[in-house]
Structure 1
Amino acid sequence: MVIMKIVAVTACPTGIAHTYMAATALEKAAKKLGHSIKVETQGSIGVENKITAKEVAEAGVVIFAVDVAVKEEERFKGKPTLRVEPQKAIKNATAIVEEAVKLV
């Protein structure tokens, strides 16, 4: 199995519960599958754990678990991207990570 570096952004309209629940679910799923992941949350208190240009460059794939527009989405231009609703990432993060890895 190929170890993948993944970056992800989670965000929901209120920017509270689902944003953080999706982030946690994706982190656990990626770790369980042997991949590394960095998740940026875009919530009611702003952007946390911001993904750097270097991290984007090193990532094989991007996951957007969002119900709203991603702030500064152009940072991820040219990368294979999977976009899902936060609810899907919360309920079945393992399948989301597996699907994203297949895009590479």
Structure 2
Amino acid sequence: MNIVGIAACVAGVAHTYIAKEKLIKAAQKAGHIISMETQGQIGTEDELSSEEIKNADVVILAVDTAIKGRDRFTGKKIVEVPTEVAVHSSGKLIKHIEENIDS
């Protein structure tokens, strides 16, 4: 499965980057391709390309605040969770997506 996502916490620092890393590790461990963008205090990092978004089967938004560019995902299956879920239960989240999202 191809997964793209955005991580963004209120402060835009710790939870943003932890959520990104946890999701990447969990998705790769399960055999998926994943690209994660972060939006935070220092701006947008690792911005998703239009090609990555086009090829995505699902979008994970691990966010606690408003994000920029949400309209890029129009027509895509979106799973939105707080960053806390991505940080503490990323493996369960990936498993949930596998079981409930048709790719």
Q: Please indicate the TM-score interval, normalised by the length of the shorter structure.
A: over 0.9
Q: Which runs of 4+ in 1 moved over 4 A?
A: none
Q: CA deviation at 1:66?
A: 0.1
Displacement of 1:97: 1.5
Match of 1:82 among 76, 79, 83: 79
Q: What are the residue-to-residue correspondences of 1:1-104 with 2, within 5 Å?
A: 4-101=1-98, 102-104=100-102
Number of aligned residues:
101
1:70 deviates by 1.7
Shift of 1:69: 1.1
Q: 1 CA distance for matches of 2:20 and 2:29?
A: 14
Letter in 1 for 2:40: G
Q: Which runs of 5+ in 2 are unaligned?
A: none
Q: What displacement does 1:100 show?
A: 2.5
Checking the alignment, whether the CA contact within 8 Å between 1:63 and 1:100 is kept in structure 2 is no
Question: How many angstroms apart in 1 are the aligned matches of 2:42 and 2:62?
Answer: 18
Q: TM-score by structure 2 length? A: 0.94
Aligned-residue sequence identity (percent) comes to 42
